[in-house]
């Protein structure tokens, strides 16, 4: 095997690593060389975990949360309030809100936030699923719990405009959260306060 044909698989691995969020070219190289040095078992355990996730994890057809059963456990939980729908950017935000034990309604995941700088527009979010669900369900209040940063605020305003014609109560989580912070990193007390202090969107 010549040098170039041996290097091609490494280059490919680095390229794949570089596609992951938050992984720059340097880190991608470091991770790739780590995997080359590590035992075959360990490296294959990683690729197996990735394959398993892609085989078994799906989006819940109702809330778009990640799940291995569709509809997910949250959507089929009869003890939850079917009149409230909390809209979040990412599945991890649901985990944060559930940890805070401050909310017992249903959820809807947008899978992103509007960010013109990163080329993410409304069409890249799962917005139609939200509108469809609201049109069908018995929801009375929609809580917009997108992150308290530029993208999150832009997304909340956009979603508000889209669902306004439905005539539901639309609220936005309070600014108790440090501005610019992500929901998923907020502590439980702060999250509970942000939910309790939510304000009607005009």
Q: Which chain residues interact with Zn ion by CB under 5 A? A: 60, 62-63, 65, 71-72, 75
What are the φ and ψ backbone dihedral angles of 152, each rounded to 5 degrees?
-65, -40
How many CB atoms are located within 10 Å of the residue 130 CB?
21
Q: How far is CA 26 from CA 17, 20, 46, 79, 164, in A?
A: 10, 13, 20, 48, 46
72 vs 177, beta carbon nearer Zn ion: 72
73 vs 166, beta carbon nearer Zn ion: 73
- Cα(47)–Cα(6) distance, rounded to whole angstroms? 20
CB of 106 to Zn ion, least distance (A): 8
CB of 71 to Zn ion, least distance (A): 5
- Burial of 135-154, coded b for 16+ CB within 10 Å and e otherwise, reads eeeebebbbbbbbbbebbbb
Cis amide linkage into residue 71, ω under 30° from 0: yes
58 vs 150, beta carbon nearer Zn ion: 58
96 vs 177, beta carbon nearer Zn ion: 96
Q: Could you identify the residue written with the tokens 């610019």?
A: 180
CB of 80 to Zn ion, least distance (A): 11
CB of 133 to Zn ion, least distance (A): 10
Can you spell out the DSSP letters for 122-136?
GGGS-HHHHHHHHHH
CB of 78 to Zn ion, least distance (A): 13
CB of 49 to Zn ion, least distance (A): 23
65 vs 129, beta carbon nearer Zn ion: 65
Which residue in 197, 192, 173, 178 sits closest to 99, CA to CA?
Answer: 192
Contact 35, 13 (CB under 8 A): yes
60 vs 177, beta carbon nearer Zn ion: 60
- Cα(121)–Cα(36) distance, rounded to whole angstroms? 38
């Amino acid at each position: 095997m010549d040098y170039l044909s041996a290097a091609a698989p490494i280059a490919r691995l680095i390229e794949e690593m570089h596609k992951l969020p938050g992984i720059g070219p340097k880190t991608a190289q470091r991770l790739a060389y780590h995997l080359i040095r590590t035992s075959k078992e360990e490296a294959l355990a990683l690729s197996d975990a990735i394959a398993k996730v892609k085989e078994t994890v799906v989006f819940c057809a109702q809330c778009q949360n990640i799940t291995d059963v569709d509809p997910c456990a949250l959507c089929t939980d009869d003890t939850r309030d079917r009149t409230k729908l909390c809209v979040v950017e990412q599945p991890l935000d649901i985990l944060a809100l559930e940890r805070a034990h401050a909310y017992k309604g249903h959820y809807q995941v947008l899978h992103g936030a509007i960010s013109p700088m990163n080329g993410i527009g409304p069409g890249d979010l799962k917005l139609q699923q939200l509108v469809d669900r609201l049109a069908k369900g018995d929801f009375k209040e929609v809580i917009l719990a997108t992150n308290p940063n530029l993208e999150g605020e832009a997304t909340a305003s956009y979603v508000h405009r889209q669902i306004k014609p439905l005539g539901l109560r639309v609220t936005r989580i309070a600014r108790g959260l440090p501005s610019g912070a992500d929901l998923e990193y907020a502590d439980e007390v702060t999250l509970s306060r942000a939910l309790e202090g939510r304000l009607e969107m005009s």
